[in-house]
Each structure stands twice: as structure tokens, then as C-alpha cells.
Amino acid sequence: MGYLAILSDQRIILCNPHNPVGRVWSREELTKMGQICMENDVLVISDEAHMDIVHKGSTHTPFASISESFADNSITCTAPSKTFNLAGVQMANNIIPNKELRNSFTNMIDRLYLGLSNTFGVTTVENAYRYGGEWFDQFLDYLEGNLIFLTEFIETNLKEIKVIPPEGTYLVWLDCRGLGMDAKDLEDFLQKKAKIAFDEGYTFGEGGEGFTRVNIACPRHILEEGLRRIEKAVNESLIRVGRKTQ
Ligand SMILES: Cc1ncc(COP(=O)(O)O)c(C=O)c1O
């Protein structure tokens, strides 16, 4: 079945962990999805760029690790860009166990000259993977602290906004529907009143309206500054519309 999927042009892109909502799909969920794909000859392209950034209580399951047939019916994409903040080196890994699929992928990369990486990039990535473990552990601890800080700040000071607790990624999906603004008004409000530029939920597609995505992989004082600006702008706006007194 998987073989037919490779020949067919039916593909699904799986995002695990999921950006923007921060889901880390469970083994059971992935198994069910993988079986449906096998039965319908759909190749799975598994984008696991955020695989290392998983919060306490969750475990990342690489799609291809579930079974040999899933591995054979998939392309797994990983990268050092999220784990080590190395997007600038423009390097990524594509893991393709199926030989025929790998050959056709490599041919395409060669034809388009996409495999021309630069020497600094190769060395940087090699050293990050080889020696970056301790740095990464410290980063993950700091990130957990930022997540706790953000969650407590919003629960205490911004009751109109709800944090969707992420299982993975350094991105947090905030439900701002309690502010009672439509998607464009929310964007305007955050940019012009709070002076914050987030990736607005509506840009991720239908269902994203009223949500916004915050990147918490930054120094805590910057996160605090951003949250205080939102708090101030929200309070001013609630006072203006009479939902809050001074
Ligand atoms: C899920 C996901 N895949 C891929 C990418 C792109 O990663 P890279 O910077 O390695 O091109 C991103 C970047 O935001 C991402 O969130």
C-alpha cells in the first residue's frame, strides 16, 4: 500500500509538534492517522521541525518510528533551526527510508541545485548537534519558566485572554475572543494600541480568527514588557467601553 502512495500524488503534511497550536500528537493519534493514509495510498510528509521542544508531561513520537511500513510511507523533515535558533544557516534534514522515493527526492534536489549548502552551515550544524546538548537543556528549562510566567501573568492580569497550554514548541496560542474584537480589529489593537506585532490567528487559516500566536523564546524581561503593554492597552480599552472602572 505504502508503495502505491509513493507513486500516487496524494500527500498529507503532518505538523508534529503542531505550529501554531502546540499539540504534540500521541502515538495512538499518529497510528490511527498513519493507518488511514496507508489504506488510502497517501504519502505522509512529517514536519517535525519542533520535535526537540516538548514540554513536561508530553513525549514526541517520530511518525516513522511507529512501524516499518509507516517509515516506508513517509518523509520526515527535521532541522536545527528551532532547536538551536539556527534558521540563518538554512540547513535541514529530510529522512527518507524508502529507496525509490529517496532517489527521486535527491534527483529533484540536484536538478534544482537546492543541495548547495555552504561550508559554515555544515560545520555550524554539526557542532550544534555534537556539542549543543547542555545549552539546549538550559534553554528548555528557561523556556518552561517563560511559559509559567506568561500563563500566570495572563491568568492574573488579562482575564479576557485564555492561554491554550502548549504541549510543545516555543509558540503559544492565545484565545483573545473574550476581547470581543473581530480578527482585523484585534490585529490593529495589538499593533497600534499595545505596540506588539504577533502572528495573528487568521493568517493561519479558517478557525484562527480571534487568536494570536506569541513566541516566548526570548529573554523574560522582553516577554514581561510585551505582556505589560497588552495589559495596559486592554485596561484602557475596557475602561473606554465601560466594561471596567478606573
Ligand atoms: C512547523 C515548521 N516547519 C518548518 C519551519 C521552517 O523551518 P526552517 O527555519 O528550518 O526553514 C517552521 C518555521 O517556522 C515551522 O514552524
Q: Are residues 97 and 162 in the same domain?
A: no
Q: What is the pLDDT of residue 230?
A: 98
Q: Are residues 26 and 122 in the same domain?
A: yes
On the question of pLDDT at 55 being above 50, the answer is yes
Residue where one domain finishes, among candidates 80, 107, 131:
131
Ligand 1 atom, smallest distance to 87 CA: 9
- Which among 65, 31, 37 has a CA at the least distance from the CA of 51? 65
C-beta 49 within 6 A of ligand 1: yes
The rounded distance, in Å, linking the Cα atoms of 127 and 74 is 28
N- to C-terminal Cα separation, the chain:
66
Q: What is the pLDDT of residue 148?
A: 98
The three grid cell numbers given for residue 217, joined into one nine-digit string: 523564546
Note whether residue 185 is domain-resident: yes
Write out the residue range of the structural domain in which residue 55 sits: 2-131
User: What average pLDDT does this structure show over 147-156?
Assistant: 98
Looking at residue 89, which CATH number applies to its domain?
Answer: 3.40.640.10
Residue nearest to atom 9 of ligand 1 (CA): 87
C-beta 19 within 6 A of ligand 1: yes
On the question of pLDDT at 46 being above 90, the answer is yes
Q: Are residues 36 and 122 in the same domain?
A: yes
Pocket probe for ligand 1: among 60, 82, 169, 170, the residue whose CB has the most ligand atoms within 8 Å is 82
Ligand 1 atom, smallest distance to 79 CA: 10
User: What average pLDDT does this structure show over 18-35?
Assistant: 98
Q: What is the pLDDT of residue 239?
A: 86
Q: Are residues 157 and 110 in the same domain?
A: no
Note whether residue 21 is domain-resident: yes
C-beta 51 within 6 A of ligand 1: no
The pLDDT confidence band at residue 2, using thresholds 50, 70 and 90, is very low
Q: Are residues 46 and 124 in the same domain?
A: yes
The rounded distance, in Å, linking the Cα atoms of 108 and 114 is 8
Note whether residue 246 is domain-resident: no
Q: Are residues 101 and 121 in the same domain?
A: yes
Pocket probe for ligand 1: among 47, 114, 125, the residue whose CB has the most ligand atoms within 8 Å is 47
Percent of the chain with pLDDT over 90: 89
Residue nearest to atom 6 of ligand 1 (CA): 49
Pocket probe for ligand 1: among 76, 81, 94, 199, the residue whose CB has the most ligand atoms within 8 Å is 81
Q: Residue 76: what are its φ and ψ, rounded to 5°? A: -105, 125
Q: Are residues 173 and 221 in the same domain?
A: yes
Q: Are residues 34 and 102 in the same domain?
A: yes
Residue where one domain finishes, among candidates 91, 106, 131:
131
The three grid cell numbers given for residue 61, joined into one nine-digit string: 513520537
On the question of pLDDT at 48 being above 80, the answer is yes
Q: What is the pLDDT of residue 8?
A: 62
Q: Are residues 158 and 104 in the same domain?
A: no
Q: Are residues 116 and 139 in the same domain?
A: no
The pLDDT confidence band at residue 116, using thresholds 50, 70 and 90, is confident
Side chain identity, residue 128 = A
- Indicate the SS3 state at residue 174: strand
C-beta 89 within 6 A of ligand 1: no
Q: Are residues 143 and 208 in the same domain?
A: yes
How many structural domains are present in the chain?
Answer: 2
Distances (CA, A) of 219 to 27, 79, 100, 147, 167: 33, 23, 45, 12, 21
Residue where one domain finishes, among candidates 91, 114, 131:
131
The three grid cell numbers given for residue 179, joined into one nine-digit string: 476581547
C-beta 15 within 6 A of ligand 1: yes
> What is the pTM (predicted TM-score) of this model?
0.92
On the question of pLDDT at 6 being above 70, the answer is no
Average pLDDT across the chain, whole number = 94
